[in-house]
Every structure is written in C-alpha cells, then in structure tokens.
Amino acid sequence: MKDFSKELIFKTSRSSGAGGQNVNKVETSVTVLWKVEDSEFFDERQKLLIQEKLKNRINAEGFLYLTVSESRTQLMNKNSAIEKITEIVHTALIIPKKRIATKPSRGQKEKRLDNKKKISEKKENRKFKY
C-alpha cells in the first residue's frame, strides 16, 4: 500500500450528531481532499483506473473527497478519514480476474438428470391411484 497521505488536504467543519454543546462550538468533522491528477505516488495508468472507478466521488475540479464525522474529536476523524481514503483508493486499484467460461462435466449432467428423475418419481408416487 502506498502512503500518499502527504498529498491530502484537510478541511474541518462543524459536525452534526452526538457531542452536546461541543457540537456547536468545535469543528470536529473532517473533509479530506486529494487531487488525483497531481499525485506523484501513482503512475498514469493507475491514476486513470482510480478516476474511472471513483468517478462518483471525484468532483469537477478533479478532487477525490471524503467527509468523516464519526467521532467527537477532530484528530480521530482525521485518522479515520486517512484510513478510509487509502482503503478506497487501494480497492479501486484492484483489477478483477477475467472469468473463464466453463462447461459442466458429463458426470455433473448425469447427476442433475438422475436427481430430476428421483424428484419426478417421488411426486408421481404422491398421486392417488385407483
């Protein structure tokens, strides 16, 4: 995992939720911004992959943003935001394996047909016979 936390920009704001009077006075909510295009930690292919997969989270200026206000303290929210944004970026970099289409084997086909016959016979035996 690459540590690109030096490129992150932090903004704080007043958080909603638990905290009592503290909510109205202290800016505990943390928004983390990261300019994907200007990153020195990733190559162009990785940047394109991040931009493609996270296009819903990237604004018009090209900033990937995330807001965290889970905790009552700014420091905990900042640490949580760093963890979450790195996790989001690294999951975006994972390229899924191509699925190889396979056909069922002869044994699997026979087993399925035998099972169908058994169920059919079981249902046939339920019928009332004169």
| Closest to 122 measured CA to CA, from 114, 55, 83, 29 | 114
pLDDT over 90 at 127, yes or no: no
Residue-wise pLDDT for 67-102, tens only, equals: 998 888 889 999 999 999 999 999 999 988 999 999
Local structure of residue 69 (DSSP, 8 states): -
Q: Average pLDDT, whole number, for the chain?
A: 87
What is the pTM (predicted TM-score) of this model? 0.68
Interacting residues of 117 by C-beta distance below 8 A, sequence separation 6+ = none
